[in-house]
Amino acid sequence: MSGSNVRGLPRELEPGAHVIGVGIGGGAFAEYMVLPADAAVPVPTGWADEQALGLVVNWPTALAALKPLGGVTAGQSVLIHAAAGGTGQAAVKMAKHYGATVIAAASPGKHEVVRALGADHVIDSRGGDIAAEVLRLTGGAGADLVLESVGGATLNASLAATKRVTGRVVVYGLAGGEAAITNWDLVYKHQIHVIGLNIGLLIQAAPQIFGEVMGELFALIAAGVLGPGRPTAYELADGPKTLAELETRATIGKLALLP
C-alpha cells in the first residue's frame, strides 16, 4: 500500500509513535514485525495495543462492506452473519449508526451480545431457515444488504434472503466453505447484486476508497460510535488453541494473542 496516496489517514508519524499494522505477507504471530511505514496506522490516544486490533482489518472490512460497496442508507435492512464476531460486532454498531434495521445471525449462546449492540432482530445461525426468517422479518421483501462471511450452504440462504433487483450481497468470507453461484442463478433465481470484497486487495487496487474508509473510521471513533475494542486475550503460546476455538465457532468478538 502507498499510504501517501491514502486520504483520510492521520499521517504525522514520529519515531516511537504507537502504531498498528497488518502483516499481509505473514509474520504477525510474533513479538516483533517489520511493517512498511506507509502501512502503519496510528493507535488512538490512550488505547492499549489489543484495544486497537480491529482497526486495520475487521472494522475497515465491515465499513467497506456497508458503505462504499454495500451502499447502505437509513431505513434499509441489513442481514449480518457472524454478528457476534470481530467483524460482525463492528458491522452491527456501524449499521445501526447509519440508521439501518439490523438482522443479526449468530449461534444461540451469542444472541445477548448482539442484542446489546443494538441489533433489531437476532436469528439462529446454527439451525432453522435463515432465508425464511429474513423474508418474514422484512415483510416478504428480503434484506436490502447482506454481509456474507459464512459461505457453504449459507451462501444460498443469503441469496434467497436478499431483495430482488436492488438487493446487494457483499461476500467477504467463507468460514463455512466454498459455494458456487451460476449465471443461471442470477438470471432466473436470484436477481440481485453479488459483490466480492477482500480488504487487502482493496487497499492495493483502490487506495482512494480505502482512504475514505479509514477517514470515516477515525470520524466514527471521534464521534464515539466506535470505542476501544475489548478482545479476549490469550498468551501467544496458546495461538493454536485459540485458532481451534475460532474454527469451532466457540469465540465471541476479537481475539488477541499477547506477546
Nearest to ligand NAP of 130, 192 (CB atom) = 130
**Three-state DSSP class for 242?**
helix
Nearest to ligand NAP of 13, 175 (CB atom) = 175
Look up residue 52 and give its three cell numbers.
486497537
Q: How far is the CB of 84 from ligand NAP (least distance, A)?
A: 5
What residues make contact with ligand NAP under the rule CB under 6 A? 57-58, 61, 82, 84-88, 106-107, 110, 125, 149-150, 172-173, 175-176, 197-199, 246-247, 249, 251
Q: How far is the CB of 201 from ligand NAP (least distance, A)?
A: 8
Strand-pair partners of 195: 170
CB neighbour burial string for 123-159, b if at least 16 within 10 angstroms, e if fewer: bebeeeebbebbbebbeeebbbbbbbbbbeebbbbbb
The C-alpha atoms of residue 196 and residue 209 are separated, in whole angstroms, by: 15
Strand pairing category for 145-148 and 121-124: unpaired
Q: How far is the CB of 8 from ligand NAP (least distance, A)?
A: 18
Closest-approach residue to ligand NAP (CB): 85
Nearest to ligand NAP of 84, 220 (CB atom) = 84
Q: How far is the CB of 57 from ligand NAP (least distance, A)?
A: 5
- By residue count, the chain amounts to 259
Nearest to ligand NAP of 99, 128 (CB atom) = 128
